[in-house]
Chains A and B, each alone.
Chain A
Amino acid sequence: MTDRALEGVRVIEFTDEIGSYCGRLLGDLGAEVIKVEPPGGGRERHVGPFITGFEGEPDASLAFWVHNTSKKSVVLDLDLPGAQETARKLALSADIVLEDYPVGYLSARGLGYEQLRSQKPSLVYTSVTGFGQTGPHAGWAYADIVGQAMGGLMTLAGQQSDPPNLIYGRQADVSASIHAAQGTMIALLHAEATGQGQLVDVSAQEAVSISQETAMQFWDFHKKNRTRTGELGALPIRLPGSGTLKTKDGYVLLLIIAPAGKDLPDLVAWMREEGKAGKLDEEPYASLLAKFNMAFLTQLMGNPAEAVTVLQHLGAMNQEIANFFASKTAKEAYEEGQNRQLLVGIVSTPKDLAENTQLRARDWYVTFPEAPAGPAVEFPGPPYRLSETPALIARPPRLGEHTEAVLAAL
């Protein structure tokens, strides 16, 4: 039998959208995670996309699946006193309680941190909410987009002329859950060493703050706000070997002018081999490209006269490079470019990821032979590989699938 890192750890979770990914990480690492769900299931079970042919069914929501693997499901109506008592017993049987209800909801039902810890001092109680347990906004309503906005991410994403962009994949929820997983692990280790439990309070707004990158220090040091710069990113203009370029069937991102990897002459060599270097082998482009890297650009910024002469040639160079990538598929451009140590990233579509050479070669995807809805299906694999105690992904539970068994054993 495979050893599991979190063998013997029991987690009772009262989560919906914000904290469920945290429970999933613990479950995949071997904890017994029992999700207590309201009758009918929470919001996450009712949000698509759904398995085709099972639209709207609570067992068929992929939004639920991706955050709820390796769990058991128990249905309890926490508005009923009897069910509250059962939930209390369940919670007290756990090492960890994980919850993401609005602040005060569970304590109104006898399931708050203070109430449970008085009976079980070693309990780790992790609360994952939009704004945390304290402070003037602790009672605010929350959804993922609110966390991304209030946490400083959206202001950095998008084209200046568009509204700020949301990042795909409920990243405020995910960030809160990942911080919660780290905090919960630290608290668990402490509880196991000393018998002392505690509250782990995670705010989604704070969880995404660190992803502001340098925006925080631009304000702190320079009193300037970083803003969204869309397609050009950090560059003032499109430079050869940079930016998002069209291919035959999709897009690639070039960052060849970044310090890592080979420089533009190696790109031109590749183009030349295929007879597609065009004007880039002619002057003045050839000598310009030979020295075109970050150091050259930095020097150029201090020399406006030279900059003007360089600037007038950028359009032609960009066009030759764009033509070259337009002649390839995104996958060809990515794999061949990277094999030449050129910083080319494929803009992967979900299909590209499902077929990704590296992920397939490493056998990353897992299979659920008996899916909660629909036929056997492949599913994304774990975030990490632990040599002694692998993260193993068991299929998500059907709504209430384990109610009887779990309550009978209580």
Chain B
Amino acid sequence: MSKRPLEGLRVADFSWFGAGPIAANTLCHFGAEVVRIESETKVDGIRMVHPFAMNPDGTFKSGYNVSGYFNNYNTGKLSMSLNLNTEKGQEIGYRIIEKSDFFLTNFTPRVVDKWNLRYDQITKVNPSIIAAYAPMQGLEGPHRDFLGFGAVLTPVTGISEMSGFPNRPPFGIGTNYPDYVINPGHTVTAMLAAHRYRLKTGKGQCVELPQLESVVNALGTAVAERLANGTNPTRTGNRHPAYSPHGAFRCADDPGSVNSPDRWVVVACRDDAEWMRVAGVLGHGDIAQDGRFNSLVARKDNEDELEGLVNSWTAGWKAEELCAALQAAGVPAGVVQNAQDMLDRDPHLKDREYYQYVEHAEAGREAHDSPAARLSETPGWVPGPAPLMGEHTMDVCERIIGLTMDEIADLLAEGVLV
């Protein structure tokens, strides 16, 4: 296999849960060596979150190493057990930082302080390091110690208010959404930009990614509209200001779709021509000339009625067949796919081999998201399974920071390497 583009770079990954580890995962996909600092005294919560791999008899496996959630976001990393509540643990942490090109954490500023991991502290051992901090609200400011994670950030950043149907309370979107692309992706972008500057000048820097700021930046127009026009926009369901019809329409149930038999096709009609093609595919080409629906303005005025009609037309269709027919007519359309579709039924994702499978010592064969940016000459890939808790403690101590076996034995005895 080819050499990966970030080979030779090391990341001291003091992060946990979603956003931080996913950022480091991307760097690892492209060849960086990532040393995950973990501790049994403060276990990364997502090591204990479902789904767990199963035994052949149908029972769940147990322990820190069998969460598919954790394993997907930590592929190919090294795991080092280190108790940062001890002074010696912090010294070992500094020695890893000294040997690293990047430092990353998403612990709260309070914990960063407690573990003496502030930028002014770690640059004493490594002045040219690029240090990325990704706390909820920022390292400073009146809310810097506010608690949260993706599910709290979703309402706080406006995503909940702006998503969903207006007749429902703003209950959110079902996941810890900002953790998965927005925050880790922004973090990596900034770290690599800082790396380019370091290559030119030799200077490292502090990269602060307040998750609140990162997400509101990517929220779309809602806040800009408030600032410019003084309005206070809210959610409008699946509708779009300039496209109509625009939404999810129900098709025939599919009993083969496990515990989610309801099937939906989404359609986005960006102009009259696309709408006419939709009506044609659905066998109602005549309606496109109807005065209630023959222009965007008319369709917006009669949108409830329009959506009711389209729903009545899609009801008998098999979702995949309707989607294919609409696409054949050049209309943006898609099936509301579930994970079964994504992993097993979508021919396109299969053809592109998006999901990559690796063997994990405890969890067994697992599917993984692969890098969504495909580089033709220096591609990234899932380099191997997620580490077992503390699997590489000895390797990191010996190879990276050069401790002797005696020193390691003492640290083990003193409860530092746990």
Smallest CB–CB gap between B296 and chain A, Å? 11
Give the residues in chain B near A378, CB-CB below 8 Å: 227-228
| Binary interface encoding of chain A residues 120-146 relative to chain B, with 1 for a CB under 8 A from any of its CBs, else 0 | 000000000011101111101111111
Scan residues 152-211 of chain A and give those whose CB is less than 8 A from a CB of chain B.
152-159, 162-171, 174-176, 178-190, 192, 196-203, 205-211
Give A135 to B349 CA distance when docked, in angstroms: 8
Q: A225-B259, A251-B169 are in contact. Are A389 and B268 (CB under 8 A)?
A: no
Which one of A188, A252, A351, A361 contacts B142 once the chains associate, using CB atoms below 8 Å?
A361
Chain B interface residue count, Cβ-Cβ cutoff 8 angstroms: 155
Give A43 to B274 CA distance when docked, in angstroms: 14
Contact of B288 with A by CB under 8 A: no
Give the residues in chain A near B169, CB-CB below 8 Å: 231, 244, 246, 251
Do residues B339 and A140 form an inter-chain contact, with CB atoms below 8 A?
A: no
Do residues A146 and B259 form an inter-chain contact, with CB atoms below 8 A?
A: no
Which one of B232, B243, B372 contacts A143 once the chains associate, using CB atoms below 8 Å?
B243
Smallest CB–CB gap between A214 and chain B, Å? 5
Give the residues in chain A near B371, CB-CB below 8 Å: 179, 183
Contact of B279 with A by CB under 8 A: no
Which one of B68, B197, B335, B336 contacts A5 once the chains associate, using CB atoms below 8 Å?
B197
Do residues A187 and B375 form an inter-chain contact, with CB atoms below 8 A?
A: yes
| Binary interface encoding of chain B residues 132-171 relative to chain A, with 1 for a CB under 8 A from any of its CBs, else 0 | 0000011011111011110111111111111111001111
Q: Which residue of B lies closest to A184 (CB)?
A: B373
Q: Which residue of A lies closest to B69 (CB)?
A: A214
Q: Which residue of B lies closest to A198 (CB)?
A: B377
Give the residues in chain B near A302, CB-CB below 8 Å: none
Do residues A165 and B221 form an inter-chain contact, with CB atoms below 8 A?
A: no
- A interface, size bucket: 35 or more
Do residues B339 and A189 form an inter-chain contact, with CB atoms below 8 A?
A: no
Smallest CB–CB gap between B128 and chain A, Å? 11
Give A210 to B398 CA distance when docked, in angstroms: 34
Contact of A380 with B by CB under 8 A: yes
Do residues A220 and B219 form an inter-chain contact, with CB atoms below 8 A?
A: no
Do residues B367 and A338 form an inter-chain contact, with CB atoms below 8 A?
A: no
Give the residues in chain A near B270, CB-CB below 8 Å: 43, 143
Do residues B69 and A377 form an inter-chain contact, with CB atoms below 8 A?
A: no
Which one of B186, B234, B246, B337 contacts A150 once the chains associate, using CB atoms below 8 Å?
B337
Smallest CB–CB gap between B189 and chain A, Å? 5
**21 pairs, A vs B, C-beta closer than 8 Å:** A47-B241, A51-B229, A146-B334, A157-B174, A180-B373, A182-B185, A196-B377, A199-B375, A206-B352, A220-B366, A227-B338, A259-B45, A350-B233, A353-B222, A354-B227, A362-B140, A377-B228, A380-B223, A383-B190, A385-B209, A387-B119
